[in-house]
């Protein structure tokens, strides 16, 4: 869609080389580096949740690859010659794997904040921070010219859905384990 290319063109025409470098760094946090950081945060705070995160992340990443192969949408720089590929990406565009990953990262971190903090202000600030992280990752993918807006939105939606499913399954398993432990003590 042309309006999506116009958004990318606007960003690229109004962004300095310094901001391009910043977005290239930020985009690393939406990939494997971000996954490792989140895994270790969760591991040291709530080990069982870190395993649920890892399984969710792996399954969602595989699902993302399958979706890309089914949808086969070209990247913006392949469709419009005036869009630069500052992200050095290849392959298909829809959905954005970095946006999907960022949504999973943020959802699991926000869930950890919700279950471990008693202060409302911490929960609010945590929620805002997680939201801004996802927005920045999605924005970085457009500024770098490797994803359209709808690619990033689809990635965020799929990532949030996977995170919700992962957290629900995690809670179900934890509840079952606690029930079994309680029964074995009786």
pLDDT digits (tens, 9 = 90+) for 135-155: 999 999 999 999 999 999 999
CATH code assigned at 56: 1.20.144.10
Low-confidence stretches of the chain (pLDDT beneath 70): 178-186
Length of the chain, in residues: 186
* Residue 39: exposure state from Cβ atoms within 10 A (0-12, 13-18, ≥19): middle
Q: Report which DSSP code applies to 67.
A: H
Q: Are 118 and 76 in contact (CB under 8 A)?
A: no
Q: What is the pLDDT of residue 71?
A: 92
Torsion angles phi and psi, residue 39, rounded to 5: -55, -45
Q: Please report the beta strands in 9-154, taking only residues with DSSP state E, as ranges in sequence order.
A: none
Q: What is the pLDDT of residue 32?
A: 86
Write down the residue that tokens 């565009």 correspond to: 93
The predicted model scores a pTM of 0.87
Torsion angles phi and psi, residue 92, rounded to 5: -90, 165
Give dist(CA 39, CA 51) in Å, integer. 8
Q: Report how many domains make up the chain.
A: 1
For the chain, percent of residues with pLDDT exceeding 90: 51
CA distances, 12 to each of 9, 23, 182 (Å): 5, 11, 59
In sequence order, what DSSP letters do the residues of 10-33 get, joined into one string?
A: HHHHT--HHHHHHHHHHHHTTTHH
The domain in which residue 77 lies consists of 2-185
């Amino acid at each position: 869609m042309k309006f999506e290319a116009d958004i990318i063109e606007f960003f690229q025409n109004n962004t300095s080389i310094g901001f391009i470098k910043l977005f290239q760094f930020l985009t690393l946090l939406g990939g494997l580096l971000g996954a490792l950081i989140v895994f270790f945060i969760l591991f040291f705070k709530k080990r069982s949740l870190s395993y649920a995160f890892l399984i969710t992340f792996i399954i969602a990443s595989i699902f993302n690859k399958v979706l890309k192969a089914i949808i086969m949408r070209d990247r913006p720089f392949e469709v419009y010659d005036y869009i630069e590929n500052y992200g050095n990406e290849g392959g298909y565009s829809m959905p954005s794997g970095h946006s999907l990953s960022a949504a999973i990262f943020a959802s699991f971190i926000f869930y950890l904040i919700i279950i471990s903090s008693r202060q409302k202000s911490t929960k609010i600030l945590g929620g805002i921070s997680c939201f801004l992280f996802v927005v920045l990752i999605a924005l970085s993918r457009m500024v770098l010219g490797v994803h359209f807006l709808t690619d990033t939105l689809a990635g965020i939606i799929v990532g949030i859905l996977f995170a919700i499913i992962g957290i629900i399954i995690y809670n179900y398993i934890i509840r079952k384990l606690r029930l079994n432990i309680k029964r074995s003590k009786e």
